[in-house]
Homo-oligomer: A and B are copies of this chain.
Amino acid sequence: MRTTVSDDGIETVLPSPPGELVQLLDPEGNRVSDPLYDPYVADVTGDQLASLYEDLVIVRRLDVEATALQRQGQLGLWPPLLGQEAAQVGSARTLRPDDFVFSSYRENAVAYCRGVRLPDIVKVWRGTAQSGWDPHTVNMATPAIVIGAQTLHAVGYAVGCLRDGVDSATITYFGDGATTQGDVNEALVFAASFHAPVVFFCQNNQWAISEPVGLQAQRPIAERAPGFGIPSIRVDGNDVLAVIAATRRALERAHGGEGPTFIEAVTYRMGPHTTSDDPTRYVDPLQREEWAAKDPIGRVEAHLRERGVLTEALAASIADRANEVAAEFRAGCVALENPAPLSVFDNVYAEPHAPLARQRSQQAAYLRSIGEVAE
């Protein structure tokens, strides 16, 4: 690990050689020391790690439940996060309540950590609404489906924080595939130009649907940001501790007025792209197996058992808790009601719009004419 300070005094955090990852827990659960990042997790107690472990278990359990709900027709679609639990939980748990999140569609564990109500997470996937929650209640925006669009929103929000004189940070999540989109690159330029307190959190899960990351990037993704004037960190995305350390470092910069930071969390999408996808068409099972050995939950479990924090009893209670949350999730999901016919006209505009009101009224007349209840 090397820290370089460039000629204009901007600290650029570049792993050296470029392939090197920040890792604090190896796949076997051993604590690896890293002089630069150790201090960022020095205060994390065994109990706190156990609580993170619980989060990891729960979000995986929820993910499995959601896939089951989709199979049973309760959801239209679901994008599993299997394999990416540590990247999401580690980063999201590091945020302050007043920090703001702009995510993509797969960050359901981030939503969970932000305190989004369970059924609200799946409204979109069940198809009862275009988004699940009021962003201002949890400081997390409605996920963006158009790849990369949200990264610019994050920069705008972060600049708004600067203008408002608050030290809140903004974090934006996106995938490896997203790094190709013009919007994401423009976001890097704008963030650098305005010294925006924003964290670019790229989950490099090796795939954009069927396309391997090698089609999108010829160099490790973390190497892209420094050329824009943004320091970057390449972190083992399956290592919750390392993700916390990297995110803390980036947030420290953001909260401290030092501008944007780019994090590449190297992970793997263990499931299909979505429940509609058939990864057997393109995923090499051997590659998947290699990554299975780097499971983000297994290593925390091993580590905690080794430290004696995770007892059988605690493990069982966490498993129970996960099942409980999943049951609650399922119940909340199936209880979500279908939208009323005329609701399609709601919230198009914030201010009165006569022609649309007229169209709505005509449709109400039509619904009455065919004997349907309109509202």
* Interface, chain A (partner B; CB < 8 A): 6-7, 10, 17-19, 179-183, 185-186, 189, 192-193, 215-219, 223-230
Which chain B residue lies CB-closest to A180? Answer: B189
Residues of B within 8 A of A217 (CB): 189, 192, 228-229
**Residues on B with beta carbons closer than 8 Å to the beta carbon of A229:** 217-219
**Alpha-carbon distance between A84 and B90 when the two chains are bound, in angstroms:** 51
**Among A179, A183, A227, A228: residue with most chain B CB under 10 A:** A227
Cβ A215 vs Cβ B186 within 8 A? no
Contacting residue for A7 out of B7, B17, B230, CB 8 A: B17
Q: Which residues does chain B contribute within 8 Å of A19, judged by CB atoms?
A: 7
* Residues in B whose Cβ lies below 8 Å from that of A227: 219, 223-228
In the complex, A168→B179 CA distance in Å?
29
Interface centre among A10, A189, A215, A216 (most CB of B within 10 A): A189
Residues of chain B contacted by A182 (CB below 8 angstroms):
181-183, 185-186
Residues of chain B within 8 A (CB-CB) of A189 are 179-180, 216-217
- A17 CB → nearest B CB, Å: 6
Pick the residue among B10, B185, B219 that contacts A226 (CB under 8 A). B219
List 29 contacting pairs A-B, 8 Å CB cutoff, sorted by A.
A6-B18, A7-B17, A7-B19, A10-B218, A180-B186, A180-B189, A181-B182, A182-B182, A182-B185, A185-B185, A185-B186, A189-B216, A192-B217, A192-B218, A193-B215, A193-B218, A217-B228, A217-B229, A218-B228, A218-B230, A219-B226, A219-B227, A219-B228, A223-B227, A224-B227, A224-B228, A226-B227, A227-B227, A227-B228
